[in-house]
Every structure is written in C-alpha cells, then in structure tokens.
C-alpha cells in the first residue's frame, strides 16, 4: 500500500534475481490473527509492548495499518485480501509480521527485522519458475490510473506473475494512490504457499522537467525543475542533490518506487536528439551530478536500523544507457533502427563509461540498444553485434566492477 509502507532497503546484492527481489521487496507491506509462540491473550500487555491495528481507507480500498512496538516496522495489508498476521514474542514484546505465503510460519523473508538482501535470498528458492519469469518483465505504459484496476492488469498480474508496472499516467495524487493500493491488495489475494507474495514495483520515467520535453511532465501536479542539461549548466551538484531529495519524496508519495533515470550518457555529439536529457559533455561534471542524483534519490535521512539510509522516501534510481548512448553514429538515436550503431573511436569508450562507474550504488542500470563498434566499424568486445545482452559488456559491470544490481533493457 502507498500509505504505511515499511522501510526495507532495496540493496542489490547476491544473485541478480535476489537483487531484483530486494528491489521489489522495498515496496512490500507485511500484515489479523494467527501466529506462533505464546498468545498475547495469556499475558499482561501494554500498548508499549505489543502491536496495534487500525483500519484506514483511501475511498476505494480499505486496509489495515499495523504499528509494531518500540520503533518496529509499520506494515499494511488489504482488509479483504485474505492476508493474516503472524505474532512473535521477543522477550516482553509481541511483534506482528505479514504471513505472505499463508502457512502460519514466520519465514526469514517475511521478517522485517532482517535486511532486505537476506530476505530476498531466502525467498528465491520458494519462487515458482513462472514467478521468476514474471519478475523479468515490465508492463507496457499504464496511462490511466484514474480508471482503477483493469481486467488486463489483473490478467498479467495473475497469469504472467508480472510485478514491474510502468506508471505512464499523470501525477494526480488521488488517482495514483487509489490505483496503487488496489493493485497491491489484488496481488496480496494471489499469495499462497506455492506462489509466495511479491509486491508490485511501480516505475516511471522522469516527471519534473519544466521544459515538458520529457513524457509525463505535469506542471500542475508535481514540482518543476530545469532539465538535466539545465542543471548541468549550473555546475552545482548540490542543486541536483536538493532536487533528488524533493523529487524522490514526491514520486514515492504517489506509489512510484523506481525511476527510469537519470540519463547519464556523455553528450559527445550535438546532433543527437537526446542531448537535452543528459548532464552535458563534461565527463567529470556528469560523474559528480550522477553521484549526487543517485544518492539523494535512494537515501531517506529519517531511516534507521539494519537498512539505514533507505526508507519510505527512497526511490530506486536506474542510470542509463550503459555503456553510453551518446556515441550514436552520426548523432542518430539508438532506440530506432537508423541509429543502431554506437561508435567509439580512439579510446573514447572509457570516457563514456566513467559516469556509470562512478554511480555503481545505483539500484538498477539500463543497458543500451546499440551495436557497439570501434573506430574501424568492428565489434569492440566479441563477434556479438549488440549491447543489451552481450556478455563481454555485462562482464564490465558484473565481473570487473562487482555490480550486482538489476540490469534492464528496452
């Protein structure tokens, strides 16, 4: 649910699937009775040593907010989703956990006290093959949150086990919050021991570009800032940090947990149509701006505990397009067939690569669509003619630099 989200850190560690799960578990809302150990009914308790529940509605969905004692996590779940709580007594304190596979036992991955990386690794062996496949998919752009949960959305959430949804609508708070809550409650109804609950990760392209050149820019509904190129013109990474701190909270407030950005390609050719979306042509400046952006988006200064640094204000950043889309032949755009070649003459590859290597704490990286060639027109790393899934290029991230976050491609 958008209201009452727990503070799980979507760290990207371990196997790639565990990393993806850690990302989506950052939106998990662990939940009315049931559990193990001593029943709280047999003990003398106070409001300070046991959890409490409250029903809340957004006008369309009613859900239960669970407040755990002594700075424990705040959880939520749909009242009509069929979810229940597991109780656990720890000393003189009774905590509540959401039973996300309905088996009545507290699994490691259901335990909000455990870091998200460990939880994700524990969940992986329980997932059905179909669920794993679903975690590798994104939906098409959903551009009408005001219409609520559609039959098509129910279909892909149920039968394709898809859990990455692109929010391509406007930034109206009521429309987005009610839609997000409907969808999260629906996927809770699908949870079972055979198909454990995995929440929906909502993603969006950038929305705050005051030039309105970026899709989904809604001046009346979200704060407006200079484009990335405009920010680069200030030569002030602290301005980018201020933007990220505000923008990430705005996105999270409407249920968005992953930003499909920033675009950090080196703008090495002024003919390229996407120069406006970059931080410019100075590699060192791009690297500084990117580091400030990623840190500010992913850091919640109010978070504490095992996942300190992450919280309800954090949004996963997805830097793009690795290893650098700015090298398109003749300035042509790599998302189209006419621009399918990226050419890196005279050792320029390292310059395009540098901003990415300076922001490897980014939760996700989007790879380029280009066929990567050297100055003589030959494939740079192998006979494979592509970028998105060329092993030699992915190995730069995985093997050479130890990146274990999520990799995404169009």
Residues with a known catalytic role: 410
Residue 288 CA: distances (Å) to CA of 154, 229, 293, 361? 42, 14, 9, 14
Residue 178 near residue 148 (C-beta atoms within 8 A) = yes
Residue 310 DSSP SS3:
coil
Picking from 168, 198, 193, 152, the residue whose alpha carbon sits closest to that of residue 27 is 198
Residue 292 CA: distances (Å) to CA of 32, 244, 307? 42, 8, 20
Listed as own residue / partner, the contacts of 121-128 with beta carbons closer than 8 Å and 24 or more positions apart are 121/14, 121/15, 121/18, 123/21, 123/25, 123/196, 123/198, 124/15, 124/17, 124/18, 124/21, 126/101, 126/196, 127/195, 127/196, 127/198, 128/161, 128/194, 128/195
Q: Residue 140 has what DSSP assignment?
A: P
Q: In whole angstroms, what is the distance from residue 157 CA to residue 181 CA?
A: 14
Q: In whole angstroms, what is the distance from residue 324 CA to residue 366 CA?
A: 10
* 95-131 CB burial, b ≥16 within 10 A, e <16: bbbbbbbbeeebbebbbbebbbbbbbbbbbeebeeeb
Locate tokens 């409907």: which residue? 182
Residue 259 near residue 243 (C-beta atoms within 8 A) = no
The contacts of residue 44 (CB under 8 Å, 6+ apart) are none
Locate tokens 């193990």: which residue? 36
Under the phi-then-psi rule, with left for phi > 0, alpha for psi from -120 to 50, and beta for the rest, what region is 101?
Answer: alpha
Which H/E stretch holds residue 392? helix 391-395
Residue 258 DSSP SS3:
strand
Q: In whole angstroms, what is the distance from residue 158 CA to residue 61 CA?
A: 19
Locate tokens 């909502």: which residue? 202
């Amino acid at each position: 649910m958008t209201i009452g989200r727990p503070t799980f850190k979507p760290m990207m560690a371990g196997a790639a699937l565990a990393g993806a799960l850690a990302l989506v578990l950052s939106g998990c809302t662990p939940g009315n009775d049931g559990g193990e150990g001593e029943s709280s009914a047999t003990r003398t308790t106070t409001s300070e040593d046991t959890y409490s529940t409250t029903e809340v509605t957004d006008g369309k969905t009613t859900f239960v907010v669970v407040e755990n004692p002594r700075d424990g996590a705040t959880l939520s779940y749909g009242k009509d989703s069929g979810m229940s709580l597991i109780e656990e007594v720890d000393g003189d304190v009774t905590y509540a956990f959401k039973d996300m596979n309905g088996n009545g036992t507290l699994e490691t991955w259901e335990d909000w006290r455990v870091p998200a990386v460990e939880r994700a690794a524990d969940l992986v062996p329980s997932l059905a093959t179909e669920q794993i496949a679903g975690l590798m998919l994104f939906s098409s752009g959903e551009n009408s949150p005001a219409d609520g949960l559609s039959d098509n959305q129910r279909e892909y959430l149920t039968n394709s086990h898809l859990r990455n949804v692109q929010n391509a609508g406007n930034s109206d708070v009521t429309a987005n919050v009610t839609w997000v809550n409907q969808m999260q409650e629906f996927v809770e109804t699908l949870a079972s021991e055979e198909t454990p609950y995995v929440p929906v990760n909502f993603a969006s392209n950038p929305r705050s570009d005051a030039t309105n050149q970026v899709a989904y820019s809604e001046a009346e509904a979200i704060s407006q800032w200079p484009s990335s190129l405009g920010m680069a013109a200030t030569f002030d990474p602290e301005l980018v940090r201020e933007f990220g701190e505000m923008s990430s909270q705005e996105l999270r407030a409407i249920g968005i947990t992953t930003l499909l950005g920033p675009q950090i390609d080196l703008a090495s050719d002024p003919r390229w149509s996407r120069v406006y979306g970059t931080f410019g042509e100075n590699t060192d400046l791009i690297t500084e701006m990117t580091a400030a952006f990623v840190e500010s988006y992913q850091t919640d200064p109010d978070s504490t505990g095992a996942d300190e640094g992450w919280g309800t204000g954090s949004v996963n950043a997805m830097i793009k397009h690795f290893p650098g889309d700015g090298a398109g032949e003749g300035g042509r755009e790599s998302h189209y067939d006419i621009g399918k070649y990226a050419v890196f003459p005279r050792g320029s590859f390292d310059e395009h690569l540098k901003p990415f290597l300076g922001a490897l704490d980014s939760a996700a990286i989007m790879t380029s669509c280009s066929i990567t060639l050297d100055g003589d027109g030959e494939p740079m790393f192998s006979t494979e003619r592509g970028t998105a899934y060329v092993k030699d290029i992915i190995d730069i991230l995985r093997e050479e630099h130890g990146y274990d976050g999520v990799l995404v491609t169009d």
